[in-house]
Structure 1
Amino acid sequence: MAKKYILSFDQGTSSSRAILYDNNAKIIGKGQRAFSQNYKYKNWVEQDPWEIYNTQLQSAKDLLKASKVSVSDIAALGITNQRETSIVWDRKTGQPIYPAIVWQDKRTEKQCLKLRKKKGDFIREKTGCVVDSYFSATKIQWILDHVEGSRERAKKGELAFGTVDTWMVWNLTKGKSFITDHSNASRTLLFNINTLDWDEELLELFDIPRALLPNLTENAGKLAVVDASIFGNEIIISSLLGDQQAALFGQTCFKKGMLKSTYGTGSFMLMNTGTSPKYSENGLLTTVAWTIKGKTHYAIEGNIFIAGAAIKWLRDNLDIISSVDESEYLAYSVKDSGGVTVIPALAGLGAPYWNNNVQGAIIGLTLGTKKEHIVRATLESLAYRTADMLNLMETESGIKIKSLAVDGGASANNFLMQYISDITRISVDRPRIIETTSLGSAYMAGLAIGFWTEKQLLEIHKVNKSFKPEIEKEEALKLYSEWTKIVFHIIQGSSL
């Protein structure tokens, strides 16, 4: 009897989720477990690798128990993950030698600034990326520099490095598979996006032994097999994708010029640029979107480090909202931000500024300022950052953008989506399923084994709501112009 379901693991920055889909991409069940973040020092962000893995495993077990689905009915597993987060472990014991250093971690920023000046163009030509602590290379380097004896052990092949996809597969297969895919590899600063291989010159530059690195694989196919002891039955792992590439695939952006913006902890805008890498002159990243059956698609990417995290910051740090959902209601309850502007640089500013010295700011406070104004200004700031990205995407691609596909948890916020449409002057299209990261992982996993076809996926994918501009063009231009002036002054101040 044909197997009925595709299982997707969506291992994110703050939680691990498992979602089960039927052959119409209908969600049959979900499981989700949050895990802790460790902010030991300023600009440091660490996670427990075992907590990452165990919460992912438990979310799947919760799902299977609640849905009463037999593992034998699962056709394949797709895995998508937070990118760049770096883990080094002992091959023999399987134990990490240091906590996972998260993509948000900035401890190596000074080193990156020096290297960017000396070798920035050289590295970008090979990797498509700017030299930044965001990527894996300097995180790995830091671990090898600070854990005694680790570099020598790495040279001997005693240690293993992986982004979260590699760590997950290693443990799910009981150490039988040590692999990473092209989309995740392209986020390390060690992978040449032209040759699709680890680059010896980059490895030498960062002093990272090749013996430490996983084997490379395409994004789709029969990549590995989950050990039967995990769920009581083997499951084929048929897709691996970095989270933002998965969202691009989940939005069915299969053709050149199609783009999406995901609003999760951060916000990430990707445009499919076809089968040749497109290098940015204005701060966008060039990355591998996916490789399937020997054919590689590339993307350009704009990164906003803080999106949904800004809303959680209002709740958890400022305590001015009791829930994330409340932000929408409060933003709508006032006619404007009351002159308040928020710069959401709580972890620096990503593309196109790439300035990690910039700190977050709330400007324009008066005796008349209410919490509603601050909440609204925070949401507005995410729309302005989206406009930053869209303007760059148009400049780099030469394509006039008429609509933006959105997804991720914060895309459920109607005020935010409407304001993005108002400022950018385009249609903002939210799909039926906003967990597009998980969906893209499932789509690719199913496609790899013939569970569905590309044509079927295009038919399945539906837009649930489109937001159209509701304010005048002149007003939108004025608001955005005021925002950019304030950002410029903030950046100037950060360099003093």
Structure 2
Amino acid sequence: MSLCAILCPASSRLPRRSAAMPTSSPTFVGAIDQGTTSSRFLIFNRRGEVVALHQLEFKQIYPNPGWHEHDPEELISSVERCVDGAVQQFEAQGHSRGQIAAVGITNQRETTVVWDKTTGKALHNAIVWTDTRARDLVRRLKARIGAGELTQRCGLPLSTYPSASKLLWLLDNVPDVKDAYERGNLAFGTVDAWLAYKLNGGPARDVYVSDPTNASRTMFMNLHTLDYDAELLEWFRIDRDKVKLPKIVRSADPDAYGSLAGTVLRGTKIMGCLGDQSAALVGQKGFTPGLAKNTYGTGCFLLYNVGHKPVISSHGLLSTVAFDFGEGRTMYALEGSIAVAGSSVKFLVDNFGFIDESSKLSALAETVEDNGGCTFVTAFSGLFAPYWIDDARGTIFGITAYTQRGHIARATLEATCFQTKAILDSMGKDSGQKLTELAVDGGMCNADLIMQTQSDIIGIPVSRPAMRETTALGAAIAAGFAAGVWESFDDLKDVNNEGKTLFRPQITAEDASERFARWEKAVQMSKGWSS
């Protein structure tokens, strides 16, 4: 049975598509990848190969300790410049811009933008998902009656992470935002909604939409209904008559997202949208329950497909929407986040001077056979999922006169692998489904040593694709489904398979268990270092 047959009844295979693309010339799909530090535009062929790419970094704004902002207009201008740059490369290869069937969007999640719905002007810098300025507000919210029941509806616990706390902070602290709210002119959105709105030309077209993978990160959407929840909004004391919320539409849709009003692709339709971690799961073809991906970046984000119904975690994980590809066919995921992954490597470079660049850490770790008895709990700002230990701090255990730089390097790399193991164990308990293979992407997965260590510790194969632009590929897949570039999930079975590397466990289960037990002991000993 095909994947499409499993997921979709005969009457609703995938999203209603635009007319099938002609087969006389090659067809391509564009993907806007608007991330935390840079914007990119990539063009993929039907085999999932990148044929053109343009990337621009933009300014990071840190007004106060713990605060992190972006200029909303710079997000738009950087995206538009990337579109033009990639298309220029594309046409230099002899292709025509008319061969680009559609454009998809993937974006940093939770980052919050507010603007005047009559003028389209942003009323404040975007507050980035990493921002913690709302911590006192969150502390007060946690004391409010009903706080413990929110997760059952929206899948997220109260924290500074979701968009809700960021919007409430803006309403409390920025007069222009408060004034627009009182006049009923306030528009709120995550970055996907802002992109769709502005790339369509702003108030002239007033395209104001968000997909469930992004809307589920606000705390305003009910995971079960995929719509805004009146009781959630009331609990947060948000008046729907005073703030405009984007309409929640499918992740793949031929009409809802409008079309580009500017750039050299003017008139090209936007047909797909996925939050970045969901996009990576789709790009790794994690379409069925029991499949998972882990993105090894500055931090780590592990998404585990749990099927057609949300699973509310009782083991320290987040519940979210994996994707919605139409006709009510929605897949959900459990999510675990690791605060420190690639940043621990940067720490050894910048703070300890172990090596002169991050790419050489794996080579340093390979100068020794093992960690020499060292365990490094990289809790620089506490531990995230599944531990959630705020007062833990980075701690190295087992140092002796024998310890060398290579041992510390190995222990640093192993820390991410052990935390991934802890998250996977929690996901198995919550979902009741056993993971059989872990798909990986992100910068750290380039190192064979890390991936082999990961496979050894979790006891299952780790699959690393040759083409690792899986987040952007996920956005292209969403748009490609709506455009008819791909007809079913079966059409993608050979996409990005060539050159895949599979790492299989090379140690016994008993050895892996012993190593993990040592890690868990170290975690417990790292508690209480910050009052």
**TM-score for the superposition, normalised by structure 1:** 0.93
CA distance, structure 2, for counterparts of residue 313 and residue 53 of structure 1: 32
Letter in 2 for 1:301: E
Tell me which amino acid in the other structure corresponds to 1:334.
Answer: V
Letter of the aligned partner of 2:111 in structure 1? Answer: T
Name the residue aligned to 1:456.
491
Matched, 1:267 2:297: no
Tell me the distance in 1 between the aligned counterparts of 2:387 and 2:244: 33
Tell me how far 1:93 sits from its aligned partner: 4.0
- Give 5+ residue unaligned stretches, structure 2: 1-21
Matches within 5 A, 1:410-421: 410-421=444-455
- SS of residue paired to 2:439: strand
What is the CA distance between 1:231 and its match in structure 2? 2.0
Aligned CA distance change for structure 1 residues 163 and 332 (closer, same or farther; 3 Å): same
1:50 maps to which of 68, 73, 94: 73
Aligned length: 495
Aligned counterpart in structure 1 of residue 371 of structure 2, from 337, 340, 349: 337
SS at match of 1:122: helix
Partners in 1 of 2:401 and 2:69 — Cα distance?
Answer: 39
Pair 1:105-2:131 in alignment: yes
Q: Tell me, in whole angstroms, the C-alpha distance in 2 between the residues paired with 1:27 and 1:226.
A: 22
SS at match of 1:460: coil
Confirm whether residue 305 of structure 1 aligns to residue 339 of structure 2: yes
| Structure 1 runs of 4+ with >6 Å offset | none
Cα displacement (A) at 1:113: 4.0
- Which residue of structure 2 lines up, in the alignment, with residue 219 of structure 1? 251
More displaced stretch, 463-472 vs 386-395 = 463-472
The reply on whether 1:29 has 2:52 as its aligned counterpart is yes
**What letter matches 1:49 in structure 2?**
P
Structure 1 stretch displaced more, 274-283 or 66-75: 66-75
CA contact (8 A) 1:411 1:434 kept: no
Bigger mean CA offset, 309-318 vs 236-245: 309-318
Instruction: Indicate conservation of the 8 Å contact 2:290/2:436, yes or no.
Output: no
CA 1:71/1:127 → structure 2, altered by over 3 Å: closer, same or farther? same
Task: Choose the corresponding residue for 1:164, options 191, 197, 207.
Answer: 191
Secondary structure, aligned partner of 1:76: strand
Q: CA–CA distance in 1 between the matches of 2:115 and 2:351?
A: 34
Q: 1:314 to 1:158 in 2, by over 3 A?
A: farther
1:132 is matched with: 159
| Candidates 172, 177, 184, aligned match of 1:145 | 172
Which range is displaced more, 449-458 or 87-96?
Answer: 87-96
Q: Distance in 2 between matches of 1:32 and 1:203?
A: 37
Q: How is 1:63-82 mapped onto 2 (pairs within 5 angstroms)?
A: 63-68=86-91, 69-82=95-108
Equivalent position to 2:524, from 479, 488, 491: 488
Are residue 4 (structure 1) and residue 27 (structure 2) matched? yes
| 2:220 aligned with 1:190 | yes
Structure 1 residue 3: Cα displacement: 6.4
CA separation in 1, counterparts of 2:393 and 2:137?
A: 19
2:13 corresponds in structure 1 to: none
CA distance 1:334–1:186, change in 2 (3 Å): same
Change (3 A) 1:228 1:137: closer
CA distance in 1, matches of 2:423, 2:362: 23
Task: Tell me the CA shift for residue 385 of structure 1.
Answer: 0.7
Superposition TM-score, scaled by structure 2 size? 0.87
The letter of the residue matching 2:169 is: W
Measured on the aligned residues, the alpha-carbon RMSD in Å equals 2.2
In the superposition, relative to structure 1, how do residues 203 and 321 fare at CA in structure 2: closer, same or farther (>3 Å)?
A: farther
SS of equivalent residue, structure 1 residue 246: helix
User: Is 1:85–2:111 an aligned residue pair?
Assistant: yes
Q: 1:114 Cα deviation (Å)?
A: 4.5
- The 3 A distance-change label for structure 1 pair 388 and 22 is same
Distance 1:212 1:347, change over 3 A: farther
2:273 is aligned with 1:247: no
Q: Which residue of 2 aligns with 1:397?
A: 431
For residue 235 of structure 1, report the CA deviation from its aligned partner: 1.2
User: More strand by proportion, 1 or 2?
Assistant: 1
Residue 306 of structure 1 aligns to a residue in which SS?
coil
The counterpart of 2:357, out of the listed 310, 323, 326, is 323
Does residue 447 (structure 1) correspond to residue 492 (structure 2)? The answer is no
Give the Cα separation in 2 of the matches to 1:105 and 1:129.
17
- Matching residue's letter, 1:283: G
Q: 1:156 to 1:413 in 2, by over 3 A?
A: farther
Quote the sequence identity (%): 39
Specify the code of the residue in structure 2 equivalent to 1:446. G
- C-alpha deviation, 1:369, in angstroms: 4.9
